[in-house]
Structure formats: structure tokens, C-alpha cells
Amino acid sequence: MANTVTAIVVNFRGFDTLGEVTVLFLAATGLGSILYRRRNEHSGLNPKRKSPESSKILQAGGKILFPLVILMGVYVFVHGHLTPGGGFQGGAIIASGFLLMLITYRKFYIEHSVVSWIESIAGVVFVTIGAVGMIYGGTFLENFLPVGELNHLFSGGVIGLIYVAVGFKVASELTGILDTLLNIREFENENESETQNN
């Protein structure tokens, strides 16, 4: 493996990468469970958000930037085995694109059931690749695919697939957290203004 960063993070520390993904999943699950009741009781779904619409300039900029940010995030995790990027970085970039839309458009909606499915499927893919590596190579995330030609997109064996799975998982978890936090924050601001008026 020519990319030393990727070799250490995904290959030599592959089981540790599983731990990091698990910690992020537990943090997202914990935060979601704490805020779930408040979100359902008070702020409801995103279309009911009462925050003011942003300016037309921001809305136009958001429409232009959103697909470019998503494309950049996908590029970072798809090419993670060739560059210092990877799944975590690409997932965070994608989540920032959704954050841009959430703060620009009042009625931009995140379907949490879809986000949960994407997160679950990505996690299962990651663990399955690791388990197959144990079966064929004896260690978690052991490579069982052809490594390809150096510095080409389809090289690095399973590492490219791992980064795609981690990228989708991180993006979905962070997007769900951001949407939940924005709803809760909006409800708290609404309560403060009602208290001041009374």
C-alpha cells in the first residue's frame, strides 16, 4: 500500500476504526434518544419549523453549493485510499451540505427513517467486509479482493469499499444529529420569546 495514512488507519488499525465508528453510532443514538421525546412533543417535524426564511441570495447560493458539497464529500471518501481523505472526512463534508440546506430553507426536510436505514446498511456492510476478511485471511478487515494497479481508483482491495461504507455511515449519523439539534434549538428559542412576551 503506497498511501501510508490509509494503510495505518484502515489496515493495521482496522479493528480500531470499527471502534471509532461504533463510538460515533453510540453518541448519535444517545443524543437522539435524549432529544427524541422533546422533538416529538414540541417541535414536530421539520416542515413545522418556524424560523424565518433566509434571504433569496442565500437560497440561490444554497441551491448551487449543495450538489457541489455532496459531490466533494463523495469524491473524498471514494478516493480515500489514494489521498489523505477518507470516510470520516467525506461524511462530515456531506453532513455540512445538509446543514447548509437546513439553515437556508425552513421547510427542508430530513427523513429520519431513511437516514437510519442508510446508517444501518453502511454499518452492516463495514462489519460484513471485516468478517469476510477474518474468514479468508484470519484477521478483521483482511483484504480478500485484488489490489489492482497502484494509484488507480480500483486499487487497494477492500479499503475503497470500507471508506464508502464509513462515509455513508458518518454522513447519515451527523445529518440526523444536526437536524435534531436544529429542531430542539428552535423550540427553545420559541419558548424564550414567549416567556419574554409574558
Spell out the domain ranges in the chain.
Answer: 17-192
Determine contact, residues 96/69, Cβ cutoff 8 Å. Answer: yes
Report the range of poorest mean pLDDT among 25-39, 61-75, 136-150, 168-182.
Answer: 25-39
- Average pLDDT across the chain, whole number: 76
With contact defined as beta carbons under 8 Å apart, do 89 and 146 qualify?
no
Q: Is residue 189's pLDDT more than 60?
A: no
> Which set of grid coordinates corresponds to residue 60?
440561490
Q: With residue 162 as reference, give the H or E element that holds it.
A: helix 159-197
* Nearest to 43, CA basis, from 180, 197, 174, 177: 180
Phi-psi region of 32 (alpha: psi -120 to 50; beta: other; left: phi over 0): alpha
Q: pLDDT tens for residues 88-109?
A: 889 999 999 999 998 888 778 7
pLDDT, tens digit, 9 for 90 and up, residues 67-82: 999 999 999 988 877 7
pLDDT classification of 115: cutoffs 50, 70, 90: confident
Contacts of 35 (CB under 8 A, 6+ apart): 180, 181, 184
Quick one: pLDDT band at residue 121, thresholds 50, 70, 90? very high
Q: What's the pLDDT score for residue 93?
A: 94
Can you tell me the distance from the alpha carbon of 145 to that of 136, in angstroms, rounded to the nearest whole number?
Answer: 10
Report which of 36, 43, 76, 5 is spatially closest to residue 177, judged by C-alpha positions. 36
Which residue, among 173, 29, 175, has the nearest Cα to 96 in the 3D structure? 175
Q: Specify the pLDDT at position 43.
A: 44
> CA 112 to CA 179: how far, in whole Å?
9
Q: Is the pLDDT of residue 195 over 90?
A: no
Residue 15, pLDDT above cutoff 50? yes
Q: What percent of the chain has pLDDT over 70?
A: 72
Torsion of CA 109, 120, 66, 39, to 10 degrees: 30
For 189-197, what is the mean pLDDT? 57
Question: Looking at the predicted structure, is the pLDDT value of residue 44 above 80?
Answer: no
Distance CA 176, CA 91 (A): 12
Q: How far apart are CA 163 and CA 91, in angstroms?
A: 10
**What's the whole-model pTM score?**
0.74
CA 133/CA 135 separation, integer angstroms: 5
